[in-house]
Chain A
Amino acid sequence: MGAGMIVRRTHAARPLEYGRRPWMLAIFAANFLFLYFPIVMLVAFSFNNSRRNVLWEGFTLRNYGLAYDNAALHEAFLNSMIVASGSTLVSTILGSALGMALARFRFPGRAAYESWLHLPIVIPEVCMGIALLAFFALLDLPLGLMTITASHIAFSIPFVAVVVRARMQGFDPALEEASRDLGASDWLTMRRVVLPFAMPGIVTGALFAFTLSIDDFVITFFTSGPGSTTLPLKIYSMVRFSVPPEMNAAATVLIAITVALVLGGIAIQSRLDREARR
C-alpha cells in the first residue's frame, strides 16, 4: 500500500510552502524591506520640505518645482524621451518583424540564429557598452543622441523579438491560409489578420523597450557624448557628492513612468492569458 493512500488533513510544510514557516516569512519580510525601503524613502523624501535630506520636516511639492526649473535636468529628461521614443519605435518594428519571422519560418540555422539573438539579453552590459563604443569609434561616428539611440535599439530588439515570438507561437497558420483563400493579398492578410493578432505582443514589446531605454545607465554612459546627457546620467552626476531633494523628485518621476509602463504591460499580458484560456 502506497503512502498516497493515507489521507491527512494537515501535513508538514513542503519545501515551497514559505507561508507555513515563520523563519521563512521573516526572510521574506527582510528581503522586501531591503528591496523597497530605499525606494519608499526616495519617494517619501521627494515630498520633504527640507533642504537636507535626512529629517522629515513636512509635506511639499516644491522639490518637483525645483526639478522642473532645473534647466540641465529638463534637458536631460528631453534627451531621455527622444532616445526612448526613437529607440522604441525602431526596435519595435525590427524586433516584431524578427519575432514573427522566427515564429513562422523554418530556415537553415534558425536555432543558431535564435541563440545569437538572446546573447544581448545575457551579455554583461559593460561589455556591450565597450563593444558599442569601439564600434562607433571604428566607424568614426561622433558620440551623441544618435549613437545612444542606436545602442538602445540594439539591446531592445532581442527583448521585443522574444515577446512577439512568444505571442506568434499561438497563431494558427490556417488563419493566414484562410485569408489568402478568401481572396486577400499577402499585404491585406498581414494588416487585417496577422498584425491584429500580434498587436498585444507588439505593444508589450514596445513598453518593454521603452522602460529599458529610459532607465538605461551603463550602455548609455559608454555611448553618450557632450550635450547628450540622459536623465539617469544626469541624476548620477548630480548626486555624486550630495543628494539634493529635487533629485528625489526627478527619480520619483522616472520610477512613476517605469511602473506605469510595466503595469500597462502586465495588464495586456493578463488579458492575453485570459483570452488564451477561453
Chain B
Amino acid sequence: MSDVIAVEGVSKRFGADAAVEQASFEVTQGEFFALLGPSGCGKTTLLRMLAGFETPDAGRIIIGGKDMTGVPPNRRPVNMVFQSYALFPHMTVAENVAYGLRAGGMNAKDATRHATEALALVRLEGMEKRRPDMLSGGQKQRVALARALVKRPKVLLLDEPLSALDAKLRETMRLELVRLQESVGISFVFVTHDQDEALSMAGRIAVMEKGRIRQIANPRGLYETPNCRFVADFIGKANFFGGTVTHQGSGIAVVNCPDLGLLTGRMERSVSGAVTLMVRPERIRLSAAPLTDDGTNLQGRVTHIAYYGDESRIVIDLGTGRTVTASIANDGESGARWRVDSEVFLSWRPDDALILTE
C-alpha cells in the first residue's frame, strides 16, 4: 500500500460552525500534496487533525497504515513546520534541530551529528551556535524545516510556511522546498491560500471551500477542468455565462444564454438543464473582423485595458450590460493592437470553454 495518509470522512466543528466537513483524501508515498482554499476554509484545522492537535468529531485518519484515533501528537509519525516557525528561543540552532532526536531518546553525540547533517541539507552550515533571534526569516524557515525533517517523518506537514517571507524570498523558497522534497522523498502536505504557490509546487491539490473539499486534481486538471464554479473562480481568472443546454453530442454542448444567444463549450459528462459556461481569458481570441469557424462568435467594445507586463487584460462590453475579460500576450504584435473604445470581435472554439453544472 503506497498511501501514507488516508483521511476518511473527517469532520470537525467548533461550537455550531463546521470547520471541516466530510473531508476524504489520500496522500501517496513521496507526494507533494497541497491543501488550498480561501482564509477560514478549514485548512489549518485539517492539518492540525493530521498532527494530532485537534480530534476529529467524525471519520478516521490513517497514517502509515495505522488508525491514528486517540494517538497523541508525540506518537505520530508526522512532523509539522509551523507558520510562526515556533523555534525554541532559548536554544541554539543545533539544539533546536537535535531536540526531537533527544526527545526520542537518541544520545547527545548522534543527535548532534544528525542535526549537523540536517542543517547541511537546508544549507545552514556554520549556523549551529546561533540563537533563533539572530536569524533572518528565511533562515528561521530552514531551521524549522531541518528540525522537522531530521525526525524522518512519514509525512511532513507545512502550514503556510512561506507566508511570513517577503515576495522575492518566497519565490526562491518555493523552488528550494520542491528540491528538498524530491531529495528526501518524504511526502509533504502543504497548506496555502496562495494558488500560485500550490500550482507551482504541488503534485496534487485539494481545493477547499467552507470546510469541504471541492476538488482534488493535479494543477493542470484544476485549471483546465474545474468541476465547479467555485474552483474555476478560485484558480485563475474566468468568465462565466449562465444558460440552459439546448443540444449536446460528442463532448460538446450548446448553451442558450438569454442575452447572448447560443454559446458552445466542451462537457466532461452529459449535461442538461441550467448550466454555467466558463471561458478562461487567454482562450478568448480577439479579432477586428468576425472569424468564420465553428466556435462561438460575439461582438463588443473595449472599455478598459490593464497592462501587466507579460500580458494585458482587456475588458470588453458586450452591449447587454455584461462584460468579458480577455487576456493577450504582450509579445510585441498583438499587445498594442487594441485601444479603449475599439470595436472588437471575440470568439472561442468549443474546446476552449467548459460547461459546469455546479
Contact = CB atoms under 8 A, between A and B. Distances in A.
A178 B80 contact: yes
A178 B84 CA distance: 11
B38 to A, nearest CB: 23
A181 B73 contact: yes
Q: Which 5 A-B pairs have the closest CB atoms?
A: A182-B100, A174-B86, A178-B86, A184-B103, A183-B103
Given A177-B82, A178-B86, A183 B133 contact: no
B188 interface: no
Contacts of A278: 133
Q: Interface SS of chain B: helix, strand, loop or mixed?
A: mixed
B272 interface: no
Interface residues of B, number: 24
Given A172-B86, A178-B86, 18 more contacts: A172-B84, A175-B89, A177-B51, A178-B82, A178-B87, A179-B99, A181-B53, A181-B79, A181-B148, A182-B74, A182-B100, A182-B103, A183-B103, A183-B104, A184-B74, A185-B103, A196-B90, A197-B90
Interface string B230-267: 00000000000000000000000000000000000000
Interface in B52-99: 53, 72-75, 78-80, 82, 84, 86-90, 99
Interface residues of A, number: 19
A188 interface: yes
A193 B74 CA distance: 15
A185 B104 CA distance: 10
Contacts of A175: 86, 88-89
B204 interface: no
A21 interface: no
A104 interface: no
A52 interface: no
B151 interface: yes
Contacts of B212: none
A174 B84 contact: yes
A181 B89 CA distance: 17
A179 B151 CA distance: 12
Contacts of B72: 180
A181 B50 CA distance: 11
A180 B100 CA distance: 9
Interface in A109-123: none
Contacts, number: 64
Contacts of B84: 172, 174
Interface of B: 51, 53, 72-75, 78-80, 82, 84, 86-90, 99-100, 103-104, 133, 147-148, 151
A182 B79 contact: yes
Nearest to A192: B99
B89 A177 contact: no
Interface of A: 172, 174-175, 177-185, 188, 192-193, 196-197, 275, 278
A253 B264 CA distance: 96
A197 B73 contact: no
A197 B99 contact: no
A177 B88 CA distance: 11
9 contacts: A172-B84, A175-B88, A178-B80, A178-B82, A178-B87, A180-B73, A182-B147, A183-B103, A185-B103
A178 B82 CA distance: 8
Nearest to A171: B89
Contacts of A188: 103
Contacts of B103: 179, 182-185, 188, 192
Contacts of B90: 196-197
B74 A185 contact: yes
A185 B102 CA distance: 12
Contacts of A182: 74, 79, 99-100, 103, 147-148, 151
B247 to A, nearest CB: 56
A117 B246 CA distance: 75
A197 B88 CA distance: 9
A176 to B, nearest CB: 9
A192 B101 CA distance: 14
Contacts of B82: 174, 177-178
A153 B109 CA distance: 44
Nearest to A176: B86
B118 to A, nearest CB: 12
A39 to B, nearest CB: 39
